[in-house]
Amino acid sequence: MKKRSDFSRLMGYAGNYRYFTYASWVLSAVSALVALVPFVYIWKILRDVLNAAPDYAQAVNIPHYGWMAVLFAVLSYLIYIAALMCSHLSAFRVATNLRLAVSEHLAVLPLGFAETFGSGKLRKIIHESTGAAETYLAHQLPDQYNAIATPVGLLVLLLAFDWRLGLLSLAPVVLAFLIMATMTGKRMVEKMRQYGNALEAMSNEAVEYVRGIPVVKTFGQSVFSFKKFKATIDEYEKWVISYTKDLRLPMMFYTAAVNGVFAFLIAGGLLFTTHGVTPEFLLNLLFYIIITPVISLTLTRIMYMSENKMVVADALARIDSVLEAAPMQVQAVPQHPQDASVALQNVHFSYDGKNEVIKGVSLEIQPGQTVLIHTGLAFEIPEGYGGFVFARSGLATKKGLAPANKVGVVDADYRGEIMVALHNHGTQAQTVEPEERIAQLVIAPYIVGAFHQVDELSDTVRGAGGFGSTGK
C-alpha cells in the first residue's frame, strides 16, 4: 500500500476545511504575481525619465505610473491577507483535530505508556509537534506557493526586456537551487530527526526534573537528579553544533550565490557595453538591478520553506509514535469475577528487564487478616523530618485495605526496608498486585517538645471538663 504524503494526511484532519487551504494557495500565487506589476510601472517611470532627459518636465506620465504601482502593491497585500485568513481557518482545524486524535488515543493506551514514553515527550508532541503542523499550514504553505509563483513571473519579466541580462540573473539562481538541494537531502533529514530526538529528550527530562524537585530535595538527591538533566542538555548541544557545522559551508556558498546576482549583472553590463551604451540597455540594466533583491528574497524564502517541510515531517513522525502505539486489548465478552478475591501467584517483576526486584511473590489477604508487605524501598530521611505512612482512601473504600496501625511512623535514623502492615477490613479476600499503590508516604518536619514538671497547670474556662463539656 502506497504511503500517504504528509500533506495528504494533514488534509485528512482538515475535513471540509481543506478547501480553505486550496483557496489560500490560489490567492497567495495571485498575490505574488500582482506584486510584480509595480515593477513594470517602475520600468515605465525609468523609461520616461531617460527619454525626457534633460527636460524632465516632459515626463508627464510619472505620477500616473507611480499611483498605479502603489495600487497594485496594496492590492497584492490585501490578496495575501485573504490567503492567510483562509490558511489559518484550515490550520486551526487541523491542529485541533490532531490534538484530539492524540488525546483520544492516549485514553485507550495501557496505563504504563505515559510512564515509559515520558510525560515531557507527550507534552512536546501534543503542544509543539501539532503546533508545527499548524504553523506550516497557516504561514509556510501559502508562502511556498507565493514563492513558487514569484519565480514564474520573474522569469517572464527577466526575459521580456533583455534576454541576455535575464539569463545572467538566472545563473546564480540555478546555482543556489543546487546548493539548496544539499541542505535538504536525506542526510540532513536524518540530522533533523536526531536533533528532534535530542530536543525531545531534553524536554522530557526538564519536565521530570521540575516535577521531582520536592522529592529530590527531601532525600538529598539534587546532584544525582541534575546529572541526568545535564546529560540531555549536553546531548542536545552536540546535535545542534553538528547540525550547524553541516550547514556552515552550504549556507556560505548559498548566500554567495544569492547575493551574486548583482555582481553578474554588473559584469554583464560591462561586457555588453564594450561597443557603446544605448538608452534602452541602460534602462533595462537599471530595471534588473532594482528587481535583483526580489530574486534574493524569493530564494531565501524557498530555502527556509524546505527546512520547515523537514520540521513538519519530523513532527508528524513523532505524532505517529503515539497514534501507532497498540491500545489495550479489550475482551469481546468481559469476564466478571464471582467475588473480589484474587490470588497473586509466583509474580516476578523488574524495572530494567534484568534485575528482579520481585521474585516469585504470591499473596492473598483474607478477611480480617494483616499481612506485612515488603515495598523494596529504603530511605534516608533528613534529621528533623519523619516519614508517615497513611492509608490510600480509594483502596480503603473499594477493597477495605488499610494499614493496621493506622499511621506508620518512619524515624529519621531508620535504615531498613519500608514495610506496610496491610489489614483487610472487608468480608472478602483481596489481592495486592506488583506496583499497586497500597499506601502513601508523607515526609514532614516535626517539633521536639521540651517537657517540664510543674505542680499545677494554668486555669481555663473549660478546665478539667470531659468530652462534650464545651457544648454541641
Name the residue type at position 437: R
pLDDT computed for residue 471 by the predictor: 63
pLDDT at 353 over 50: yes
Is residue 332 situated within a structural domain?
no
Instruction: Inform me whether the pLDDT recorded for 207 exceeds 80.
Output: no
Residue 328 falls inside a structural domain? no
Same domain assignment for residues 89 and 203: yes
Domain co-membership, 192 together with 290: yes
User: What pLDDT digit, counting tens, does each position of 11-21 carry?
Assistant: 878 888 888 88
Stretch 107-125: mean pLDDT, rounded?
A: 71
Is residue 377 domain-shared with residue 317, that is, in the same domain? Answer: no
Are 313 and 348 found together in one domain?
A: no
Task: State the pLDDT at residue 1.
Answer: 43
The mean-pLDDT minimum among 238-252, 399-413, 418-432 falls in 238-252
363 lies in a domain? yes
Q: How confident is the model at residue 74 (pLDDT cuts 50, 70, 90)?
A: very high
Same structural domain, 149 and 35: yes
pTM equals: 0.53
Domain around 433: 344-445
Residue 458 lies in a domain: no
CATH number at residue 36: 1.20.1560.10
DSSP string, 54-106: T-GGG-TTHHHHHHHHHHHHHHHHHHHHHHHHHHHHHHHHHHHHHHHHHHHHH
Q: Strand 408-410 to strand 344-350: parallel, antiparallel, or no bridges (unpaired)? A: unpaired
Average pLDDT for 16-38 = 87
Q: 352 with 308, same domain? A: no
pLDDT, greater one: 250 or 439: 439
Any idea how long the chain is?
A: 472
171 and 240 share one domain: yes
Tell me how many domains the chain contains: 2
Report the CATH number that the domain containing residue 375 is assigned in CATH: 2.70.40.10
Does 75 score more than 90 pLDDT? yes
pLDDT at residue number 113: 72
Task: Tell me if 337 is assigned to some domain.
Answer: no
Per-residue confidence band for 327, with pLDDT thresholds at 50, 70 and 90: confident
Place of cell 560591462: 270
Q: Dihedral sign, CA of 129, 132, 138, 141?
A: negative
pLDDT score of 71? 92
- Predicted local distance difference test score (pLDDT) of residue 55: 74
| Domain membership flag for residue 452 | no
Burial (CB count within 10 angstroms: exposed 0-12, middle 13-18, buried 19+), residue 291: buried
Do 44 and 164 fall within a single domain? Answer: yes
User: Average pLDDT of 436-460?
Assistant: 84
Domain check: are 22 and 170 in the same one? Answer: yes
